[in-house]
Structure 1
Amino acid sequence: MERVRRALSRPVGVVALVLTVMVVGAGLYWFQPWKLWQNETVDEALPGAVEAPAAPTGPAASTPPSPRPTGPTTLADGKLISHEHTTSGSVRLLRLPDGSHTVRLENLDTSNGPDLHVWLTDAPVKEGKAGWHVFDDGEYVNLGKLKGNKGDQNYTLPADVDPARFTSVSIWCDRFDVSFGAAELGRT
């Protein structure tokens, strides 16, 4: 009888151990808890910034200067508020000299996460838990994976996207369908 108990307990123990390892492995993959201690800082330059031409010298100096090239124009901006994770910084919607559009995150500071994206949305920005899940309810454009959880970053809008149709930006965690933080875009 003792032999039977031992024989039965080994497979049960092995199965339990295998299941435990699988559950722990899946949990680590899904939650990626080590990202809470990893920061990724990105420091991208303002897109479309054009240096002013040097002042002419010699005979050309008497010629009136040509109009200076213009840099990016801010169409809308806003401050990030915290949702699921503490988030701060600002957002600007820019029109570049070539007519394209970019969302710029400045002084971003948020937690790192397993599957973070930058979304341009038509959803209202709500404070607290009420704002955690609203951004996938309406129309949104996924501008790509968040490049880093700190710093200054640029995200190009696809050419067929009309930026006037969108009113907010969210740092969205696709894995858990939750906003880490968001900003309402006030038109300038």
Structure 2
Amino acid sequence: MGRERRARVRPWLAGVVVVAVAGAGFGLYWFQPWKLWQDETVQEALPGPVAASTAPAGAPSGASAAPAPVGPVTLASGELISHEHATSGTVRLVRLADGSHVVRLEQLDTSNGPDLRVWLTDAPVKKGRAGWNVFDDGKYVSLGKLKGNKGSQNYAVPEGVDPAGFSSVSIWCDRFDVSFGAAELARG
């Protein structure tokens, strides 16, 4: 009878082990806890002015076909505040010489995490827990995956998006719908 009882318990125990291993695997994939100890530093230069045009053939030296383009201009900026994770750095909305726009993160320092994005939003930046979940309530544009959790990086604003309609930037965890940190853009 003891052997018969053990035979009935083994399939049940094997099922529990399979479910536990599958659950642990899913949990590791979903939460990616190792990223908390992995830093990714990205250092990008701000895109500079487009090269000046050259003088047309036969023109006197020093003459040019068109004026040299104006370098990047900061339209708005702000300081990142912490939300779900300690976050610091500066955010600048920059118009480039060709008329395109980029959001520039400078001296960014935040935690790494799964599925982090840079969002341009119209949401107000609130301190503390009140600001964790507000950025997907209104209008927002994802500028792409966060390139690194440390450093200075550029994120192109898509063509056709008017940056004047947005007032903040969030480092957004798309997987858990929470802001790691955000900055209000003060127009300059």
SS at match of 2:179: strand
Q: How does 1:86-105 map to 2 (within 5 A)?
A: 86-105=86-105
What SS class does the counterpart of residue 160 from structure 2 fall into?
coil
The one-letter amino acid paired with 2:45 is A
Counterpart secondary structure, 1:147 = coil
Percent of aligned pairs with the same amino acid = 72
- Which residue pairs with 1:16 in the alignment? 16
Q: Which amino acid aligns with 2:174?
A: D
Q: Could you say which residue in structure 2 is the equivalent of 1:75? A: 75
Partner Cα distance (1:97, 1:139) in 2:
27
User: Helix, strand or coil: the match of 1:22?
Assistant: helix
**3-state SS of paired residue (2:102):** strand
| Alpha-carbon distance in structure 1 between the residues aligned to 2:39 and 2:171 | 15
1:26-45: per-residue Cα shift (whole Å, max 9, x none)? 10000000000100000001
Structure 1: which amino acid aligns with 2:152? D
Query: Counterparts of 2:97 and 2:109 in 1: how far apart (Å)?
Result: 28
The answer to whether the Cα contact below 8 Å between 2:52 and 2:67 also exists between their aligned partners in 1 is no
2:57 alignment partner in structure 1: none
Find out whether 1:136 has 2:136 as its counterpart: yes
In structure 2, the CA distance between the partners of 1:52 and 1:107, relative to structure 1 (3 Å rule), is farther
1:1-188 pair list within 5 angstroms = 1-49=1-49, 69-188=69-188
**1:17 is paired with a residue of what secondary structure?**
helix
Give the 3-state SS of the residue equivalent to 2:18 in structure 1.
helix
Q: Cα RMSD (Å) of the superposition? A: 1.8
Aligned length: 180
Partner residue, 2:56: none
Q: Residue 34 of structure 2 aligns to a residue in which SS?
A: helix
Structure 2 unaligned segments of length 5 or more: list them. Answer: 54-59
